[in-house]
Amino acid sequence: MGDDLLTTLKILIIGESGVGKSSLMLRFTEDEFDSEQALTIGVDFKTKIINVDGVNVKLAIWDTAGQERFRTLTPSYYRDAQGAILVYDTTKKSTFQKLDSWLNELDIYGTRPNMAKMVVGNKIDQPNRQISRDDGFRFAKKHRTMFIETSAMTSEGVKDAFEEIVRKIIETDGLWERRNVDGNVDLNQKSAASYCQMCSLI
Ligand X SMILES: Nc1nc2c(ncn2[C@@H]2O[C@H](COP(=O)(O)OP(=O)(O)OP(=O)(O)O)[C@@H](O)[C@H]2O)c(=O)[nH]1
Footprint of ligand X (CB under 6 A): 17-23, 34-37, 39-40, 65-67, 122-123, 125-126, 151-153
Query: Of 37 and 200, which CB lies nearer to ligand X in the complex structure?
Result: 37
Specify the residue, 62 or 176, whose C-beta has the smaller distance to ligand X. 62
The answer to whether the beta carbons of residues 10 and 82 sit under 8 Å apart is: yes
Residue 110 C-beta: closest distance to ligand X, Å: 19
Maximum separation of any 2 CA atoms in the chain, in Å? 52
CB neighbour class for 31 (10 Å; exposed up to 12, middle 13-18, buried from 19)? exposed
> Closest CB to ligand X among 18 and 186?
18
Q: Which is nearer to ligand X, 103 or 170 (CB)?
A: 103
CB of 13 to ligand X, least distance (A): 8
Estimate the crossing angle of helix 158-170 against helix 21-30, to 10 degrees: 90
Nearest distance, CB of residue 46 and ligand X, angstroms: 13
Give Cα separations from 13 to 40, 68, 162 (angstroms): 12, 15, 11
- For the bound state, the minimum distance from the C-beta of residue 149 to ligand X, rounded and expressed in Å, comes to 10
E strands present in 34-142:
43-52, 55-64, 83-89, 116-122
Query: Closest approach of Cβ 143 to ligand X, in Å?
Result: 20
Quick one: 66 or 83, whose CB is closer to ligand X? Answer: 66
Burial code (b: 16+ CB inside 10 Å, e: under 16) for 134-150 equals eebbebbeeeebbbbbb
